[in-house]
Amino acid sequence: MEICVHGLGYIGLATASLFVHNGHKVIGYDTDDRVRRRLERGEPEVTEEELETYVRDALDGELTISSHPEAADYQLICVPTPYDRDAGRADLQYVEAAARNVRPLLRADDVVVLESTVPPGTTATVLSPILAESGLEPGTDIGLGYVPETMLPGNAVTELQSNDRILGGIDADSTAAIEELYGTVPTGDLRVAPDATTAEFVKLVQNAFRDVNIAYANTLALTARDYGVDVREAIRLANNHPRVDILRPGPGVGGHCLPVDPLFFAERSDETQLVDAARRVNDRMPGYVADLVAEALGTLEDKTVAILGVAYKGNVDDTRNSPGLEIARILSDPETAELRVADGGMGATEIRLCDPHVTSPTLELESLADALDGADAAVLTSAHDEFADLDPRRVGSLLGERVMVDPLALMDADSWEQHGFELVGI
Ligand SMILES: NC(=O)C1=CN([C@@H]2O[C@H](COP(=O)(O)OP(=O)(O)OC[C@H]3O[C@@H](n4cnc5c(N)ncnc54)[C@H](O)[C@@H]3O)[C@@H](O)[C@H]2O)C=CC1
Ligand SMILES: CC(=O)N[C@@H]1[C@@H](OP(=O)(O)OP(=O)(O)OC[C@H]2O[C@@H](n3ccc(=O)[nH]c3=O)[C@H](O)[C@@H]2O)O[C@H](C(=O)O)[C@@H](O)[C@@H]1O
């Protein structure tokens, strides 16, 4: 079958490659010239090794990059859906633009599938009317539906090929046509939702569930501290119950999915109190970690703090909503730093950033040795493999004060304390 994929970012490129690897001819279109040029040269901007090989193989095969969208049996939309904080709603401009691009290409019986994460109702009430302006009615003349992507950054290819897929058409024929396409690629089970809106809702349910679960773990961490209880030991013991499965507390919830997608629920509902509270709990964690740094050092004035990890989680290079960067921002902000300085002085805190996975022209990133050299404290904010074997002897010889803040509990406390460290956890 011929497929045109709109948006060749993390999801679109992986999806286009999945279909090529399974015998389909795919035209890939992205509005960004730079993205298209790189792909035309066979140089995808992908940092997961397995995904990079997977995409390169597709580019060597039947994945064609085009400067304009083309007619195809299936039009797949994988464009960004950021949250507009000022407006308090999802910014659907990219979905709308993609729909307008698809509109003139449509032929009877073509099928349009949205994969981007969106507020429930988007396919039926935003996408459908734009496509209908073609003169072909979605649900009657053309197919239309929603198929969320659920692959986990860091384990993309495996999850792309093995996760269950949920799909929902705006009518039975659309659902059948979408099933026909996704049935040709390896996945877990295909799960048919009653309609597109339910499929959109389920995608948000999954990410909000994870966010709420992590917020519960973070709440437990703060509560356990008041009782002098080791939260990780408590969660480990609690999880032995056959029906309890609590996630891990940490320095905050980053990325562009968990901190954003739960907010989409509020678009047309006032009943989102629990989900909103979870967001607030998780958003508070970087400030809490900054407080721990200030507490351990007694003052932030003239102190130097090394932040080890600006990626939003371990072994990825994505810095969106990064807890490490938020902790850095809070510690270096004179206003908040002043509040956090135990002795009341102004906190001219120097921040050094280190991350072996991230390359960024806008961040001044240092090597591990340079970041630690003479610093007063280190904060371990991303669970990168490179940090797993940090040697307390080496770190101790570089740091000015032996203070290691470890909100992810990556280090062995006994071993670090034996080397004279104050290991601060949450
Ligand atoms: N990254 C992730 O882990 C996951 C993302 N999602 C969702 O998938 C969607 C896409 O996310 P990513 O691939 O991560 O975004 P991304 O930012 O990596 O890529 C999106 C691409 O779409 C292009 N684009 C924008 N408007 C376009 C248009 N009208 N036509 C063609 N191309 C256009 C952009 O230039 C960009 O290259 C979002 O809704 C996101 O929430 C869903 C599951 C996982
Ligand atoms: C339900 C679910 O597992 N959703 C996944 C999620 O990917 P993402 O990389 O954002 O999720 P993640 O690994 O939980 O990381 C998010 C953030 O949460 C933090 N985190 C994660 C687990 C945990 O126990 N404690 C914790 O604090 C991480 O450090 C990170 O800062 O969101 C993706 C998406 O929807 O874009 C989705 O495809 C993925 O399958």
Could you tell me if 162 and 188 are in contact, meaning their C-beta atoms sit under 8 angstroms apart?
yes
Residue 342 has pLDDT above 50, yes or no: no
Q: Is the CB of 265 under 6 A from ligand 1?
A: no
Q: Is the minimum distance from the CB of 380 to ligand 1 under 6 angstroms?
A: no
Ligand closest to Cα of 115 equals 1
- What are the pLDDT digits (tens) for 203-256? 999 999 999 999 999 999 999 999 999 999 999 999 999 999 999 999 999 999
Q: Are strands 74-77 and 111-114 parallel, antiparallel or unpaired?
A: parallel
pLDDT digits (tens, 9 = 90+) for 351-376: 999 999 999 999 999 999 999 999 99
Per-residue pLDDT, 79 = 98
pLDDT category at 153 given cuts 50, 70, 90 is very high
Question: Cα of 295 to ligand 2 centre, how many Å?
Answer: 29
Tokens 């990079």 correspond to what residue?
52
- Catalytically active residues, by annotation: 203, 257
Give the lowest-confidence range in 102-106, 295-299, 313-317, 331-335. Answer: 331-335
CA dihedral 131, 132, 136, 142 (to 10 degrees): 60
How many A from CA of 53 to the centre of ligand 2? 24
Residues 409-413: contacts with CB under 8 Å, at least 24 apart:
409/232, 409/248, 410/380, 410/383, 411/380
Answer whether 30 contacts ligand 1 (Cβ < 6 A). Answer: yes
pLDDT in tens, 375-421: 999 999 999 999 998 999 999 999 999 999 999 999 999 999 999 99
Average pLDDT for 295-302:
92
Q: What's the confidence (pLDDT) of residue 132?
A: 98
Whether the complex's predicted ipTM surpasses the cut of 0.90: yes
Tens digit of pLDDT for each residue in 159-188? Answer: 999 999 999 999 999 999 999 999 999 889
Whether residue 344 has pLDDT greater than 50? no
Pick from 208, 214, 251, 254: nearest CA to 235: 214
Domains within the chain, CATH numbers bracketed = 2-196 (3.40.50.720), 203-426 (3.40.50.720)
Global confidence as pTM: 0.96
Q: Whose CA is nearest to atom 18 of ligand 1?
A: 9
Is 68 within 8 Å of 30 (Cβ atoms)? Answer: no
Nearest Cα to 120, choosing from 177, 199, 190? 199
Choose one of 201, 245, 258 to mutate for the ligand 2 pocket test, by most ligand atoms within 8 angstroms of C-beta. Answer: 258
**Sign, CA torsion 411/415/419/424:** positive
pLDDT per position as a tens digit, 181-218: 999 998 899 999 999 999 999 999 999 999 999 999 99
Q: What pLDDT is stored for residue 340 in this prediction?
A: 47
345 band by pLDDT with thresholds 50, 70 and 90: very low
Find the 213 Cα to ligand 1 centroid distance in Å.
Answer: 26
Residue 158's pLDDT is what?
Answer: 97
DSSP states of 69-94: ----SEEEE-----EETTTTEE--HH
H/E stretch holding 384: none
Give the integer Cα–Cα distance in Å for 405 and 425.
Answer: 6
Per-residue pLDDT, 346: 52
pLDDT digits (tens, 9 = 90+) for 18-32: 999 999 999 999 999
Q: How confident is the model at residue 337 (pLDDT cuts 50, 70, 90)?
A: low
Mean pLDDT for all residues in the chain: 95
Structure tokens given for 272? 């989102």
Ligand 2 binding residues, C-beta < 6 A: 117, 150-153, 206-207, 210, 214, 247-248, 250, 253-255, 257-258, 312-313
Contacts of 403 (CB under 8 A, 6+ apart): 293, 296, 297, 376, 377, 378, 421, 422, 424
Average pLDDT, stretch 103-117? Answer: 98
Cα-Cα-Cα-Cα dihedral sign, residues 136, 137, 139, 145: positive
How much of the chain, in percent, has pLDDT values that exceed 70?
A: 97
Torsions phi, psi of 12, nearest 5? -65, -40
Query: What secondary structure does DSSP assign to 86-155, as a single string?
Result: TTTEE--HHHHHHHHHHGGG--TT-EEEE-S---TTHIIIIIHHHHHTTTPPBTTTBEEEE----PPTTS
**Residue 262 and residue 206: Cα distance in Å, rounded?**
9
pLDDT tier for residue 334 given thresholds of 50, 70 and 90: low
What pLDDT, in 10s, does the model give residues 35-63? Answer: 999 999 999 999 899 999 999 999 999 99
d(CA 36, ligand 1 centre) in Å: 14
**Statement: residue 341 has pLDDT above 50:** no
Q: Kindly report the number of other CB atoms within 10 A of residue 244's CB atom.
A: 10
State yes or no: pLDDT of 333 exceeds 90.
no
The residue with tokens 């073509």 is 110
How far is 246 from 249, CA to CA, in rounded Å?
9
Binned at pLDDT 50, 70 and 90, residue 335 comes out as: low
Task: Indicate whether 147 pLDDT > 70.
Answer: yes
Tell me the C-alpha distance between 276 and 306, whole Å. 32
